[in-house]
Amino acid sequence: MEDFKEVKTGIISLLEDWLPILSGLPHDVIALRRNNQNRTIRQIIGHLVDSASNNIHRIVHLQYRENPLDFPNYASNGNNDRWIAIQNYQEENWNNLLQLWKYSNLHLLHVIAHINPAKLDNQWMASPDKKITLREMVVDYLRHFKLHLYEIEELINTPNSDVQE
C-alpha cells in the first residue's frame, strides 16, 4: 500500500543494516548487558518479534471484526515482559531468533501492503480511554521499531564495566 511506503522502506533498511551488526555481536553483549527495563539485547529482539506478531493479528482483526475492536493489548500491565519470559528469549538460539525477527517483520510488511484501504480508520481500543486507528498503528510501528534499535545501540556502546549480570 502506497500510504505506508515510508514504513516499508524504513523497516527493510533497518533490517538490512542491523542484521549483520546483531549477527556479529559476542555472547556477553547480547546476553548480559541490560537496558533500563532490565532487558538484554536477546530479549529486546524477542520483544520486537512479539510486536510484529501482535501487530499482524491486530491488522487482520481490524479488517473484519467489530469497530472499535476490543482486542487484548499485550503490552498492558507488564504483559510484554511476561511474553518475553514465557517464551524464554534469553535462551533462544541467537541465529534462529534473528531470522525470526527478520521474517516476522517482512511478513508484517506483506500484511500491511495488503490492507483494505476502506478499513484504515477502523479503531482498536488500546485501553478503555484510548482508541488507535489502523492507519495510526501502522505508522507508529516504525517509530517503535527504531526506539528499540536505539536501545540496542546504547547497549552495544556500553563499556564492559557497566555490564549487569
3 state SS of 153: helix
CA dist 107 and 162 (Å) reads 36
Would the pTM count as exceeding 0.85? yes
The CB density around residue 12, as the number of other CB atoms within 10 Å, is 13
Residues 6 or more apart from 54 whose CB is under 8 A from it?
74
Query: Quick check: 164 pLDDT over 60?
Result: no
On whether the CB atoms of residues 80 and 50 are closer than 8 A, the answer is yes
Predicted pLDDT at 74: 83
Domains of the chain, CATH where assigned: 2-162 (1.20.120.450)
Could you read off the pLDDT of 6-47 as tens digits, one per residue?
999 999 999 999 999 999 999 999 999 999 999 999 999 999
Mean pLDDT of all residues in 85-105: 97
The C-alpha cell that represents 109 in the structure block: 510488511
Query: Quick check: 163 pLDDT over 60?
Result: no
The C-alpha cell that represents 76 in the structure block: 498492558
Predicted pLDDT at 56: 98
CA dihedral over 117, 71, 58, 146, signed as positive or negative: positive
Arithmetic mean of pLDDT over the chain: 93
**What DSSP designation does 18 have?**
H
Predicted pLDDT at 72: 87
Residue type, 137: M
**DSSP output for 87-100:** HTGGGS-HHHHHHH
Could you read off the pLDDT of 123-161 as tens digits, one per residue?
999 988 999 999 999 999 999 999 999 999 999 998 764
CA dist 33 and 1 (Å) reads 38
Q: What are phi and psi of 125, to 5 degrees?
A: -85, 95
Predicted pLDDT at 162: 46
Query: Quick check: 77 pLDDT over 80?
Result: no
- Give the position of cell 511478513: 107
Predicted pLDDT at 114: 97
Predicted pLDDT at 1: 65
The C-alpha cell that represents 78 in the structure block: 507488564
On whether the CB atoms of residues 55 and 22 are closer than 8 A, the answer is no
Task: Tell me what percent of the residues of the chain surpass a pLDDT of 90.
Answer: 86
